[in-house]
Structure 1
Amino acid sequence: MKIALAQLNPTVGDLSGNCQKILETVNRAEQTGVDLILFPELILCGYPPKDILHREGFIEACDRAVDRLAAQLNPEIGVIIGHPTGRDLPEGRIANAASLLFQGKVDSQIHKLLLPNYDVFDEQRYFRHADRKQIKPISFQGLKLGLHICEDAWWRQPDTFYHNQPFELPDPVKILAEAGSDILINISASPFEIDKRKRRHQIVGAHQDRYSIPYLFVNQVGGNDDLVFDGHSFVMDSSGDLVLQMPGFREDLQYYETSKTADAQLKEIIALSREEQLFEALVLGLRDYMQKCGFTDCVLGLSGGIDSALACAIAAEAIGPERVHALLLPSRYSSDHSVADSLELAENLGLDHETIPIDSVHLAFENLPVIGEDLKLEPAGLADQNLQARIRGANVMVRSNQHGWMALATGNKSELAMGYCTLYGDMAGGFAVLSDVFKCDVYRVSKYVNQRAGRILIPENILEKAPSAELAPNQVDQDSLPPYDLLDGILKGLIEDERSVKSLAQEYPPETVRWVAGRLDRNEFKRRQMPPGIKLSARAFGSGRRMPMAARFQWDEE
């Protein structure tokens, strides 16, 4: 049997657009003599559909779209698609389903059993668990297909919800293998995290060790809101050898022939560096967010610092430099080199750019009644520094509103964790592209940008100078924050590993750990108001990390 794996980029809710994409892919694959085509989880409506699933008539529209699609396809080719369904279920209940479309109709259908309810996943809010009695292979052209959906392959894997559930759920892969499946097929919408491809290979490899059955994994690709899906679909043969490896971060269509397994050429896994993975995910996430929201251009403030420089480079790669509009907004505290560095960056990248000094607006505030008196009490104090950031944010938003450009916020994860950012100032924008990138990684990815281009895009001076907000005389970040290598290590422990102060104090200076932990908790209210960003780590600020704002936790009493 010749099987096609279709790694596609759907748009959430766009049933007609996604169906058209499926039809075009099937037509391409048909020319190769394919027998069966696999599409990702919920490809019909895109993943994650969230509360669109609750809209009146949406599930019925999905079921009708499946029927229309089945009627439009070549009846001699099997097509497996993921979709939500309410058909033949109790009133008001829906399932995360996969259907085999064949001979003009839905030939077979299975439902997802393991519904993830951790991190960014909230599937038990929407779907019912599959009936365990219905977990069995489906037949197609003399083969038994062990079809299952995404999390169904992650039964009792570490760091998932299912290793500590209060009730027992069976292992879908075990059931399918023991029922005589000739091929195991997993259709997924598995979001990107650093090195997640390696983890998927380990999980599938563990199934291979137990059952020695060819395993096909097809994954969604593209950005939807704060999630990026990296694709990297693959096939392992019955010996556990990787015989097909699809690329990451782009759509693709490739083929696997069951009869050629013994002669298949083994695929070498080309490991991407941390910097490559981050860059590819950031570019894809920004590009898709803009395109799927209807933006063609973006605008941002260019400070001469490393964060805005990297944000510019990512945007230029994502949508083209001619569609990136940079504003240089020097204040009375801006250094000459910051302006020069910004101009050099803009010219290196080929950006549209304008210089708009903000000192006259700053002076106007100082001359206002009441407000001006407050500012004179502590020149270059916190209120004055935040005012400058807000003046800059207002300039960016004027350009955004007037021209319909998306405003890009440039703060990184380290700054957002510490509250070293200004509400309605540098936090203003429609998308926070670096919100899940620690400061040390900002530097690493920036160096990779130059390495990848084979020339200097981000000026060396930006990479080498001490980071500074330049909102007060002779200001540098390390006046207010610990060194970033120290800070990022502590933050990773607190945020991504959920470690305690007591535990981290055995590795880092205890007073610094306590101070960082306190600042992290106190600034949750700022992060609740930040623009959406791109999830890159196991614990990103946003939908996957739900911390209270009005709360008190005494780290010293833990």
Structure 2
Amino acid sequence: MLSLSVWLVESVQLLHLFQEKRASVKIALAQLNPTVGDLRGNCQRILEAAQRAEQSGADLVLFPELIVCGYPPKDILLREGFIQACDRAVEQLAQEIPAGIGVIVGHPTGRDLPEGRMANAASLLYQGAIQACVHKLLLPNYDVFDEQRYFRHADQEQIRPVEFGGLKLGLHICEDAWWGQPDTFYHNQPAHLPDPVRILAEAGSDLLINISASPFEIDKRKRRQQIIQAHVDRYSVPYLFVNQVGGNDDLVFDGHSFVLDQNSRLRLQLSGFEEDLQFFDTSTLDDGTSLTVSPLSREEQLFDALVLGLRDYMQKCGFTDCVLGLSGGIDSALASAVAAEAIGPEHVHALLLPSRYSSEHSVADSLELAQNLGIDYETVPIDTVHQAFENLPVIGDDLREAPAGLADQNLQARIRGANVMVRSNQHGWMALATGNKSELAMGYCTLYGDMAGGFAVLCDVLKCDVYLVSRYVNQRAGRTIIPENILDKAPSAELAPNQVDQDSLPPYELLDGILKGLIEDERSVRSLSEQYPRETVQWVANRLDRNEFKRRQMPPGIKLSARAFGSGRRMPMAARFHWDDE
């Protein structure tokens, strides 16, 4: 039996050996913004970042999940030849990476798999070759994720550390870190699948590395760090997390990559909502330092996500300019402010489209907003066109029978939408729809009218948040961008005399609370009626269900919440559920 003194000496020697082993590795976290399907462009970004990392003395650089093809690739994965093209791109990339640096990239692969099968993979590229490849075990199949449609689960016996620079790297992919999360709608993995992080930690990993394409939701950064910290607390192994950034279709990826040391101290925090390349040296793991990062407010997160999502959607779809209608209301005001920040005010074109029911202050407020933003604008009154419809046979009779009725109100909205689309078509500008989530939920919007457009920038922003973010726009600028009158006046569509939204809808503070419960939390009418008036909850729930057909026809928008309208919320249109039956 060893004496205590000999045991202590040997333990110290082993500690020094471990520290020396770690000291040799300087790791770069490369938070990039890929374009889905652009294999050449994405690989060029990877190569340039790897070259910068090598010039800064890095030994290893980490890239996000599926960075080679971009995330989410969706059914482009099923196109004949696409997976083979991805595999060839990775092989070529391995040959082009500087010889002195290792690179970990995410990519889809069909290599060494049965015909027609593919995996969500991460490969270590080093010295001109693919040195190791791991597959994702936990394939998310909830909300906007549909990975089991495409990929096969990793073989459990192949989950083991990857060796590099004398270290065992516990490399795993995105959802593999989320095993066992107790959410209502999330992470319902087959019971027989184990925890990949536990396997890697118990296999002696010196570092745990997660490469992700984790989409933005409010306070998602905090939640990720809580999940990763739980792993570190359990296994006392340093953890590196690198995330994609940028907008792809309806998803925004916020980046916020980070490093926690073995004591759960935050050692590195990358930027949010922009590309970033930062470095972490394993020799500093034991120096006891830590970072303190202030959380972003709700309105900051929403604004940054809206700007990034709109900018990337336009750029990746080939648009340079956008056009929208300015009504003098809060929604179009915020949409135009987001657009001006995203693509520059010189690329934003507004149409002021007053009707016979528009108030003088709405036009004045729109003019003040456009001038504050420095955007291009034109005033095009719609009453002449409105009158032309009233003078038509049959249709005109219907309109005269119920002036300012529902058909007449929707007609005005459609005349406005047609004007916006003419400008869009003539100049190649993307048309912005400006409706918010509260209105879309209630069907308080017009098909082919205010819903017309190429992108619904506010479709996942509840009305109360529209006001919150609008006030932040002014606070952020340090001056008045959105006029105080727009912020203070009662919201109105101004399609009928003296019309305000609250004539047709509950107060937005009440409505938004009920909608959050019904949509994001999937609560029942009975449950919500313990918190809100039962009659109001019932009315909102019925109207929410009845207007699914409208939302099915809305333009794409930006997912910001846990449950957004669009690909992540798949409700039937021809359905009938009596809430009294719950």
* TM-score bin, normalised by smaller chain: over 0.9
1:144 counterpart = 2:137: no
Matches of 2:137 and 2:187, distance apart in 1: 15
Query: Residue in 2 aligned with 1:299?
Result: 323
CA contact (8 A) 1:243 1:264 kept: no
1:102 counterpart = 2:112: no
TM-score (norm 2): 0.95
Query: Residue in 2 aligned with 1:36?
Result: 60
Select which of 387, 411, 425 maps to 2:411: 387
Select which of 419, 430, 449 maps to 2:443: 419
Matches within 5 A, 1:183-198: 183-198=207-222
Alpha-carbon shift at residue 265 of structure 1 (Å) = 3.0
CA contact (8 A) 1:79 1:101 kept: yes
Query: Residue in 2 aligned with 1:543?
Result: 567
Select which of 225, 233, 244 maps to 1:201: 225
Alpha-carbon shift at residue 166 of structure 1 (Å) = 4.9
Query: Residue in 2 aligned with 1:498?
Result: 522
Matches of 1:140 and 1:383, distance apart in 2: 68
CA contact (8 A) 1:299 1:405 kept: yes
Query: Residue in 2 aligned with 1:376?
Result: 400
1:346 counterpart = 2:370: yes
Residue-by-residue CA offset, 1:178-197 (whole Å, 9 max, x unaligned): 00000000000000000000
1:277 counterpart = 2:298: no
Matches of 1:359 and 1:295, distance apart in 2: 31
| CA 1:508–1:49: 2 relative to 1, 3 Å | same
1:524 counterpart = 2:548: yes
Letter in 2 for 1:402: Q
Letter in 2 for 1:322: E
CA contact (8 A) 1:97 1:111 kept: yes
Query: Residue in 2 aligned with 1:334?
Result: 358
CA contact (8 A) 1:216 1:234 kept: yes
Alpha-carbon shift at residue 261 of structure 1 (Å) = 1.2
Matches of 1:287 and 1:265, distance apart in 2: 37
Letter in 2 for 1:541: F
Query: Residue in 2 aligned with 1:5?
Result: 29
Query: Residue in 2 aligned with 1:258?
Result: 282
Matches of 2:219 and 2:345, distance apart in 1: 29
Matches within 5 A, 1:436-447: 436-447=460-471
Select which of 500, 505, 523 maps to 1:481: 505
CA contact (8 A) 1:118 1:160 kept: no
Query: Residue in 2 aligned with 1:323?
Result: 347
Query: Residue in 2 aligned with 1:402?
Result: 426
Matches of 1:26 and 1:473, distance apart in 2: 62
Q: Give 3-state SS (helix, strand or coil) of 1:93's partner.
A: coil
Alpha-carbon shift at residue 159 of structure 1 (Å) = 1.9
Matches of 2:402 and 2:483, distance apart in 1: 35
Matches of 1:227 and 1:512, distance apart in 2: 32
CA contact (8 A) 2:138 2:189 kept: no
Matches of 1:337 and 1:71, distance apart in 2: 64
Matches of 2:498 and 2:379, distance apart in 1: 22
Residue-by-residue CA offset, 1:377-426 (whole Å, 9 max, x unaligned): 10000000000000000000000000000000000000000000000000
| CA 1:160–1:81: 2 relative to 1, 3 Å | farther
Matches within 5 A, 1:47-126: 47-126=71-150
CA contact (8 A) 1:43 1:81 kept: yes
Query: Residue in 2 aligned with 1:214?
Result: 238
Q: Give 3-state SS (helix, strand or coil) of 1:109's partner.
A: strand
Matches of 2:167 and 2:306, distance apart in 1: 41
Alpha-carbon shift at residue 167 of structure 1 (Å) = 3.4
Matches of 1:318 and 1:108, distance apart in 2: 40
Q: Give 3-state SS (helix, strand or coil) of 1:263's partner.
A: coil
1:15 counterpart = 2:39: yes
Alpha-carbon shift at residue 168 of structure 1 (Å) = 1.6
Matches of 2:226 and 2:46, distance apart in 1: 30
Matches of 2:70 and 2:318, distance apart in 1: 17
CA contact (8 A) 1:155 1:163 kept: yes
Q: Give 3-state SS (helix, strand or coil) of 2:372's partner.
A: helix
CA contact (8 A) 2:249 2:556 kept: yes
Query: Residue in 2 aligned with 1:309?
Result: 333
Alpha-carbon shift at residue 109 of structure 1 (Å) = 0.4
Residue-by-residue CA offset, 1:122-143 (whole Å, 9 max, x unaligned): 0000000000000000111110
1:130 counterpart = 2:154: yes
| CA 1:160–1:79: 2 relative to 1, 3 Å | farther
Percent identity (aligned): 82
| CA 1:166–1:105: 2 relative to 1, 3 Å | closer
Residue-by-residue CA offset, 1:325-367 (whole Å, 9 max, x unaligned): 0000000000000000000000000010000000000000000
Residue-by-residue CA offset, 1:192-236 (whole Å, 9 max, x unaligned): 000000100100010011100010000000000000000000000
Matches of 2:185 and 2:153, distance apart in 1: 14
Q: Give 3-state SS (helix, strand or coil) of 1:113's partner.
A: coil
Matches of 1:33 and 1:455, distance apart in 2: 44
CA contact (8 A) 2:178 2:187 kept: no
Query: Residue in 2 aligned with 1:244?
Result: 268
Q: Give 3-state SS (helix, strand or coil) of 2:285's partner.
A: helix
Letter in 1 for 2:29: L
Superposed CA RMSD in Å reads: 0.8
Query: Residue in 2 aligned with 1:177?
Result: 201
Letter in 2 for 1:514: Q
| CA 1:138–1:490: 2 relative to 1, 3 Å | same
Query: Residue in 2 aligned with 1:450?
Result: 474
CA contact (8 A) 1:411 1:434 kept: yes
Structure 2 unmatched ranges of 5 or more: 1-24
| CA 1:166–1:70: 2 relative to 1, 3 Å | closer
Alpha-carbon shift at residue 164 of structure 1 (Å) = 4.4
Letter in 2 for 1:291: Q
Residue-by-residue CA offset, 1:462-509 (whole Å, 9 max, x unaligned): 000000000000000000000000000000000000000011111111
Residue-by-residue CA offset, 1:422-453 (whole Å, 9 max, x unaligned): 00000000000000000000000000000000
Structure 1 unmatched ranges of 5 or more: none
Alpha-carbon shift at residue 161 of structure 1 (Å) = 6.3
Matches of 2:242 and 2:466, distance apart in 1: 31
- The size of the alignment, in residue pairs, is 558
CA contact (8 A) 1:156 1:162 kept: no
Query: Residue in 1 aligned with 2:21?
Result: none
TM-score (norm 1): 0.99
Matches of 2:445 and 2:182, distance apart in 1: 35
Q: Give 3-state SS (helix, strand or coil) of 1:416's partner.
A: helix
Matches of 1:188 and 1:165, distance apart in 2: 18
| CA 1:27–1:264: 2 relative to 1, 3 Å | farther
| CA 1:227–1:131: 2 relative to 1, 3 Å | same
